[in-house]
Amino acid sequence: MSRRSALRRLSLLAAAGTVVSVGAAAPPTQAPPAAPPVKSPVAVGYGGAVSSVDADASAAGIEVLRRGGNAVDAAVATAAALGVTEPYSAGIGGGGYFVFYDARKHKVFTVDGRETAPRSADENLFVENGAAIPFAEAVTSGLGVGTPGTPATWDAALDAWGSKPLRSLLKPAERLARDGFTVDATFRSQTEANRARFADFPATAELFLPGGGLPAIGSVFKNPDLADTYAELAKKGARALYRGDIAEDIVDTVRRPPVDPDATRVVRPGDLTEGDLRAYEVKRQAPTRVRYRGLDVYGMAPSSSGGTTVGEALNILERGDLSKLDEAQYLHRYIEASRIAFADRGRWVGDPAFEDVPTQGLLSQRYADSRECLIRDDAVLTSPVAPGDPRDAADCEASGTAAPTTYEGDSTTHLTVADKWGNVVAYTLTIEQTGGSGITVPGRGFILNNELTDFSFTPASPAVHDPNLPGPGKRPRSSMSPTIVLEHGRPVLALGSPGGATIITTVLQTLTGHLDRGLPLVDAIAAPRASQRNQATTELEPGLWNSPLRGRLEAIGHGFRQNPEIGAATGVQRLPDGRWLAAAEKERRGGGSAMVVKPSGTP
């Protein structure tokens, strides 16, 4: 019996209540591997660029670029490496959105690789005895697991625009999983935050809680099961996750969650089937597009709400010159535009395969103008703001009942890549909240998502249709906002961020900080953030919470609550002299990693 089969059997025995003893898979203590690449939040040069939250992952993408791969190839390699080093944020057990600029065609394309609900799901997926189940119980369950979309996204992107086979692009990540990476403070703290959940699942505990304890900072973390899984995908192709042994293991894990027999946690099974996995397909669809300050801003269309909500907010802000405002005035208008755009997001955006989403109306300048006139310079709109009707825009009117913003996990990760030919990728991928469902597929080395908890469990408002209720094969609404900005058909910059619903405001604030306020991209990413999502109070990071700006904004009616960290953006920028600039976080999540193929000069 193989080690994977044995571990799967032990986990299933545990789920059935049979007492088993599972040994820790941690390797014996040994010297750390070669020092990881040095993290830098900014890099500039030629030959292409990669920016992500992790130095090993960015290095994997750079390795591919140096060997002649293009931006799509490098994005897949970087994403696979993030599945090793950022396993609580992304991986093959999740999904995401891929936005690609084709330098040859001067066009932007997208792949919707969002997870889907089982075909047996209906709007009562999270309802028992007439009431929504507790959110925490839905998160850590098979019930919250959607069909993963990440491997299918890689397959679709490489088939359409890649130049290298998947088997070669998985090699850096497979090597990283087999040889190990150095544990940092962020990885340890995220493990600690999930310790109680992870301990209840033998396969998760064996992998992420070696010997029952937390991985030590500076120690080597290896994931041989994931290395083997990557090797299997390299040999058989990405579709191997959707049929055959891997698919069977996923379905068994969802339908019979392998819980420790001593655990007291309520862990509901899900109804995912092998048929659901076989039927999964990504969606190739047109991006969203708005004009802003003479530039073309492209994003992700529904099922993500990122493109429509960022786009509507930019259209609202288009009417004023943000560069001439002082900092408090700028923040006021940015906050109010976010508030209004989120009001419309809550009412109108869902999976367009199931809902009549007025995407064109939400992105029209005419509609934005009808909403912009609600904003006053000396007062604050009262949240929740009622939505407008993009199908029949009426100036300064809000109709219907406001839909509150539902919770979305604040994990996720984003990577941005450019190559020497001028192709660009902005790719956001996720397993939902930090640690996903907490359930590792036994013997496979990856955690399953809890993405279906992005659905509304019950109607957000009984008075209005909720476009985000579950349904058979439906994609839950997302806030992921991978964004590419063009000028005269050529890339200016690309960016994105993790952070649940705060992704939208992070991307919006970074864009306006750079394009309107003149901040260098790395400083626009580092600037302290505010996030308003049609709620009574706006979240502020400490840099704004402790600033005199807070008092000035409170004086005209703003209310605030503190959030220690919002988002973790990465981006690339094409400089006028033809060099690429890569930019990442300076401090958030321990700082990001920006790299270029051939460093040249200073930013």
Q: Which residues are catalytic?
A: 412
User: What SS3 class is residue 415?
Assistant: strand
With residue 507 as reference, give the H or E element that holds it: helix 502-515
**Tokens (6 digits) for 80:** 């696979």
**C-alpha distances out from residue 266 to 143, 203, 206, 263, 305, Å:** 12, 17, 20, 9, 32
Distance in angstroms (rounded) separating the CA atoms of residues 102 and 92: 25
Question: Do the Cβ atoms of 384 and 534 come closer than 8 Å?
Answer: yes
Distance in angstroms (rounded) separating the CA atoms of residues 510 and 194: 30
Question: Do the Cβ atoms of 147 and 472 come closer than 8 Å?
Answer: no
Distance in angstroms (rounded) separating the CA atoms of residues 262 and 239: 36
Residue 450's contacts (CB-CB under 8 Å, 6 or more residues apart) are 138, 139, 140, 141, 144, 145, 409, 431, 432, 433, 436, 437, 438
Nearest to 183 by CA among 213, 153, 151: 213
Residue 346's contacts (CB-CB under 8 Å, 6 or more residues apart) are 384, 387, 402, 403, 404, 405, 406, 460, 534
Q: What is the separation, in whole angstroms, between the first and last Cα of the chain? A: 55
**C-alpha distances out from residue 73 to 58, 112, 155, 522, 545, Å:** 13, 18, 11, 25, 41
Distance in angstroms (rounded) separating the CA atoms of residues 84 and 221: 9
Pure H helices in 516-572: 521-526, 542-545, 548-554
**C-alpha distances out from residue 352 to 282, 458, 468, 495, Å:** 14, 19, 10, 25
384 upstream amide cis, omega within 30 of 0: yes
User: What SS3 class is residue 367?
Assistant: helix
